[in-house]
A and B are shown apart, each in its own frame.
Chain A
Amino acid sequence: MTFLPYAVSAWLFLVGLFGVVRSRNLIHLVVCLSVVQASTYVLLLAVGYRHGGAAPIFADVPLGSRTVDPVVATLTLTDVVVEATVVALLLALAVQAHKRFGTLDPDQLGAMRG
């Protein structure tokens, strides 16, 4: 069971990419992309977890007690919020595509031949 978190993160990575490749709707595609993104958070936090470790916040926990790794929490915390706005940018592009092409199906955009 000790490799379950890594397996789940690899599964989310691949299933999200599967959704992106198979998608027939740009908004669906962007949400599948956010699933791929979630897999990186699961992996980062799983890597930094330590058995019996408390959260690295010493508001009520005595100093020096065993904690989880604070660095991965730092990396993930900012990334979660930032990726939300990147998804918003992709959604804005999808809405633009619909306005210009009249469809959200990525296969019908295809003005970029050759």
Chain B
Amino acid sequence: MTAVQAVALIVVAVAGTAVVFTPDPSRQAIVASVFGLSLALLFFVFQAPDVALSQITVGTVALPAMILLALAKVRRRERARNDS
């Protein structure tokens, strides 16, 4: 268990807890992106580059994009409902 691995693990634990304790989904998407990046670094440190590459593209880019787009749709409908 090298020091880098221990630090990476702690960062992942803290980031995961932060994701859970961020109530507002739009801010939570950003924290989830940070959590995805910390996971990617952890997988890199665990000598699993394939998984790290997957995690970077998914956790840091695709997932937050999907969350923000879902939020945009929900907000748009709320705005539309307030207008009409």
Residues of A within 8 A of B (CB): 1-2, 4-5, 8, 11-12, 15-16, 18-19, 24-25, 27-28, 30-32, 34-35, 38-39, 41-42, 45-46, 48-49, 53-55, 57, 67-68, 72-73, 76-77, 80-81, 84, 87-88, 91-92, 94-95, 98-99, 102, 104
Contact = CB atoms under 8 A, between A and B. Distances in A.
A11 B63 CA distance: 22
B12 interface: yes
A71 to B, nearest CB: 11
Chain A interface helix/strand/loop/mixed: helix
Contacts, number: 128
B13 to A, nearest CB: 5
Contacts of B70: 27, 91-92, 94-95
7 contacts: A4-B1, A19-B21, A35-B16, A42-B39, A54-B47, A55-B48, A76-B43
